[in-house]
Amino acid sequence: MKVLMFGWEFPPHISGGLGTACYGLLKGMAQFNHEIIFVVPKLWGDEDPLADFVSASDVEIDYREKRFKEIWKNLTYLEVSSFLIPYLGPEEFARFTDKALHDSTDVDESIFSNKFSFSGKYGKDLIMEVSRYALVAGQIAKNKDHDIIHAHDWLSFPAGIAAKKISGKPLVVHVHATEFDRSGENVNERVFEIEKSGMEAADKIIAVSYLTKRTIIKKYGIPESKVTVIHNAVLDVSIIKSNAHKKVPEKIVTFLGRITFQKGPEYFIEAANKVLKKDNNVRFVMAGSGDLLNRMIDRVAELRIATKFHFTGFLKGKDVDQMFAISDVYVMPSVSEPFGISPLEAVRHNTPVIISKQSGVAEVLTNAIKIDFWDIDAMADAIFALLHYQGISTMFRSCGTEELKKMKWEHVAEKIFALYDQTLTVTHP
């Protein structure tokens, strides 16, 4: 089987969980005898060779073909310079663009050029890149032999639709998050319409959790029979034995993620304040960046807990591993989390976790304390219990280790290949 897969980012050049999930999936798929063609807007040259990688920036388009003109006609409504960024808020975006992270490779060619250059970043011309990426996808679908198309999240949905129009092959879209997860009820209508169009055009939809499936059915009006839940996994199920040592005598409780509405950082701070009133021998860490960072810093100052609360900024690679390793408790108080891989990474570091019931990972991780994101009293009690009652902490550590063994990406890949077979049987009997 040949799979034409469209993504937006791939490690080590990532801004969020989407790239990490794609990496894990490709690693799992590598265990099977199938050919994967993985397309990204831009290749950097240091990607792990897990698939036949294609850089959209290197593809020439024969735009004179009638089929491509029709695709472009349907895409032009997208091409409006936009400050829409899936992972960053307005304040962080300003800093992001000041540092020129969307750099000199931003799209500035005419639509009638033979090639487009993509930054591969979440920059000011994101929507323009999404639409042109879709046009290039049609050319790739024409050039590359394939049996099925797989598109990850809204950024790649127009590409998946265009590829399907050119090749006539079935389309599977993979929903890692929806606009309702990112923005609550204040959704960006343009992103919502792109998501809805992708789901409607798809032959099958993969949701990363039952929580996400319910959102797809309720908010996007998609038939339940079209949506299959396949949970994410963890890159490596082995327990990490770290030599990292904390340099403070207090216990450490960690929040690690984007500091945005979706992740519930304010509830973590309020719970921290309650814990510190009962036990001052604790330090709280908020690792990450986001549009609510300044507000969270102000709230910590208002509560007068700044001497016990630390903001590290965005962490990656070994710094993330070290943070997990020195933490006594990891908390993920997400308001809406389609899945949430970070608690699984914490378990790998033998760190007990507290997760919100409003997360997809709560469906598969049994050995974790689960609370409603808004219940700061329950969150504070759970933190206090894990810090002070060794028996509870030890139980969650040992049981969590056993649970990880069931969460391998090759198991996810196996389920997805089975879904491909089912889809091909129905669409191309």
* 52 and 151 within one domain: yes
- DSSP bridge partners of 149: 4, 171
Is it the case that residue 302 has pLDDT exceeding 70? yes
DSSP strand E in 26-132: where?
35-40, 52-55
- With a pLDDT cut of 70, the percent of the chain lying above it is 84
Could you check whether the bond before residue 12 is cis, i.e. omega within 30 degrees of 0? yes
Segment 137-187, tens digit of pLDDT: 988 999 899 999 999 999 999 999 999 999 999 999 999 999 998 887 788
In a domain, 168, yes or no: yes
pLDDT-wise least confident of 170-179, 243-252, 266-275, 304-313? 243-252
The alpha carbon of residue 404 and the mean position of all alpha carbons in its chain are separated, in whole angstroms, by: 20
In a domain, 246, yes or no: no
* 195 and 131 within one domain: yes
> Could you tell me whether strands 204-207 and 171-175 are parallel, antiparallel, or unpaired per DSSP bridges?
parallel
Average of per-residue pLDDT across 321-341: 92
In a domain, 239, yes or no: no
Helix 189-201 with 153-167: angle, nearest 10 deg: 40
Average of per-residue pLDDT across 80-103: 43
Judged by phi (left if over 0) then psi (alpha if -120 to 50, else beta), residue 264 lies in: left
Judged by phi (left if over 0) then psi (alpha if -120 to 50, else beta), residue 249 lies in: alpha
Closest CA to 207 of 216, 195, 198: 216
* Other residues' Cβ atoms within 10 Å of the Cβ of residue 32: 13
- Structural domain harbouring 368: 251-404
In a domain, 238, yes or no: no
Is it the case that residue 16 has pLDDT exceeding 80? no
Residue 96: what pLDDT? 46
Residue 404: what pLDDT? 82
Segment 213-262, tens digit of pLDDT: 999 999 999 999 999 999 999 887 677 777 777 888 999 999 998 898 88
Residue 48: what pLDDT? 86
Residue 305: what pLDDT? 97
Which residue type, as a one-letter code, is found at position 301? A
Task: Count CA within 13 A, CB hemisphere, residue 17.
Answer: 23
Rounded Cα–Cα distance for residues 426 and 256 (Å) = 42
Domain count, the chain: 2
CATH number of domain containing 126: 3.40.50.2000
In the sheet that holds 52-55, the strands lie side by side as: 52-55, 35-40, 2-6, 148-152, 171-175, 204-207, 227-229
* 132 and 95 within one domain: yes
* 143 and 104 within one domain: yes
In a domain, 243, yes or no: no
* 53 and 163 within one domain: yes
What does pLDDT average to over the chain?
A: 85
* 163 and 85 within one domain: yes
- DSSP bridge partners of 330: 254, 353
Rounded Cα–Cα distance for residues 415 and 230 (Å) = 7
* 318 and 209 within one domain: no
Is it the case that residue 113 has pLDDT exceeding 70? no
Segment 365-396, tens digit of pLDDT: 988 999 999 999 999 999 999 999 888 888 88
Tell me the longest C-alpha to C-alpha distance in the chain.
Answer: 71
Task: Count CA within 13 A, CB hemisphere, residue 10.
Answer: 26
Residue 127: what pLDDT? 78
Average of per-residue pLDDT across 24-41: 93
Closest CA to 209 of 336, 333, 335: 336
Is it the case that residue 119 has pLDDT exceeding 60? no
In a domain, 245, yes or no: no
Residue 90: what pLDDT? 45
Rounded Cα–Cα distance for residues 196 and 159 (Å) = 14
Q: Which residues are CB-contacts of 343 (< 8 A; sequence separation ≥ 6)?
A: 330, 332, 353, 355, 361, 365, 368
Q: State the DSSP code for 338.
A: S
In a domain, 193, yes or no: yes
Helix 265-278 with 376-388: angle, nearest 10 deg: 50
Residue 95: what pLDDT? 52
The alpha carbon of residue 416 and the mean position of all alpha carbons in its chain are separated, in whole angstroms, by: 18
* 27 and 150 within one domain: yes
* 373 and 355 within one domain: yes
* 108 and 23 within one domain: yes
| pLDDT higher at 3 or 404 | 3
* 109 and 195 within one domain: yes
Rounded Cα–Cα distance for residues 332 and 354 (Å) = 6
* 380 and 302 within one domain: yes
